[in-house]
Chain A
Amino acid sequence: MKPLIGITTSVNLRDYETLGQSVIMVPESYSKAVKEAGGIPLLISECGDSDELLDVLDGLIISGGRDINPGLYGEELHEKTIDINEKQDEWEKSLIEGAIERDMPMLCICRGHQLLCVIRGGKLLQHLPTTKGFEKHGETGGKWSNHKIKLIPESLIYGLLGGEVIGNSGHHQGVYDAGDLDVVGRTSDGLIEAVELQSCRFLVSVQWHPEMCGHVEIFERLIQVSSQ
């Protein structure tokens, strides 16, 4: 049987059927990538006890989205850290912790990457464009740019993508401390763009969007391990 892969989503107000309607949404690129890699994608949103949901999933993707509450890493709100949702943070935290506990294959992307690092004792820079050394990291505010990420040879992701990968960049926050996670990829400015927890069968976390960059190998491996 194909593995069931849960993909997290965001709740936002959008002009959809009516103006300012509360909707659950996530870019379609994630579910397409999972489907193309041979998995069954399901989208998930806060629904109480995450254990029951984890019981039926074979793999997990923590997707991109809004900024994380800086209180989770002991900081005050920066003026550019907006639209946080503490309930979403808490629920996704419980999913991540549950997945690690049961060694469930998990891929964390963008916000997911940042949240994983924070949960494991790491810290974020809240606004790269005004942080010394990172002003030119990449585009933000709705634009995308590309940058080179160097991956270390002793990592799962190096085995999938090689030593150097071009990843897209549209994020204004970034990871400078990954807690107890294994740092496996950085851009030239030193920002942590990829981490793994190598004691797990598959726990890969990236700052960029592999589903937008054609990095199918990551999804294929996720599906493969989730099928075991």
Chain B
Amino acid sequence: MSASRPIIGITCPSRPTKWAKWELDAVVLPTTYHKMVVRCGGIPILIPPGSSAEIIERIDGLIISGGPDISPEIYGQENGNFTLETYPEQDISEIALIKSAIKENLPLLCICRGFQLLCAIHNGVLYQHLPETDGFEEHGGWDGNVTEHGVEIIAGSKLEEIMGSKIIVNSTHHQGVKDPGSLKVTAFSTHDGLIEAVELDELSFGIGVQWHPERIEHVSLYQAFINSARGS
């Protein structure tokens, strides 16, 4: 890439969306990701669903955004009672993008659903509904509701180097990571011990987080990601 600012691809889903009086399938993404990337000196481009991994060689960094539940099939389970809407085409496309990014050592930031998908494809397993899982019933808000809680970050991790050892995060997820598979866990929620972050040591930048850093002013995380993309 010849641009002075790194090109950051952000995945996004397709949903029926309203335009005035009609509804069309639209590619949609909350503006917060885009704004944060611009703020940290990147050029954001949105990657529509169904995009193939050929995009990886054309960008400098990849963000797998938040969104709907991933298909439990990915981690060998059936749909739970609260796993209602899944989008296999989006899952397949994002899995290919993640795998290609890892192979090419492309700076990678996985957020919320993106974090869960990252774990699942590394032989991880999810809790399909925290409000009905022993010990995690009060984890946090979901279904549009947002709460906050503390997170402790493990000393010596890249995430700790970037953000320090204790932070406050937002929480708006009903699923969570039960088993991170082969990935290294780097953060836990302070009130119930749920896995909140992982990282891939073999990459220049490979971090997944359960929360939405772009919605809670976690500029340092995005800045570190963009800086890494600048060098790639």
Interface positions of A (Cβ within 8 A of B)? 1-2, 4, 6, 9, 11, 14, 16-19, 21-29, 31-32, 35, 40-45, 47-48, 52-53, 55-56, 141-144
Contacts and interface: CB of A to CB of B under 8 A. Distances in A.
Interface residues of B, number: 43
19 contacts: A14-B17, A14-B18, A16-B28, A17-B30, A19-B144, A22-B31, A23-B28, A23-B30, A29-B25, A35-B50, A40-B54, A47-B44, A48-B43, A53-B43, A53-B45, A56-B7, A56-B43, A142-B20, A142-B22
Nearest to B48: A31
B45 A43 contact: yes
Given A29-B25, A42-B9, 7 more contacts: A24-B28, A24-B29, A25-B27, A29-B24, A44-B45, A141-B20, A142-B22
Contact of B30 (A22, A27, A44): A22
B30 A40 contact: no
Contacts of A22: 30-32
Contacts of A16: 15, 17, 28, 30
B149 to A, nearest CB: 19
Contacts of B12: 24, 43
B5 A43 contact: no
Given A41-B48, A56-B1, A26 B26 contact: yes
B30 A21 contact: yes
A85 to B, nearest CB: 13
Contact of A18 (B2, B55, B144): B144
B47 interface: yes
B14 interface: yes
A56 B26 contact: no
Contacts of A47: 34, 37-38, 43-44
A120 B44 CA distance: 28
A90 B151 CA distance: 42
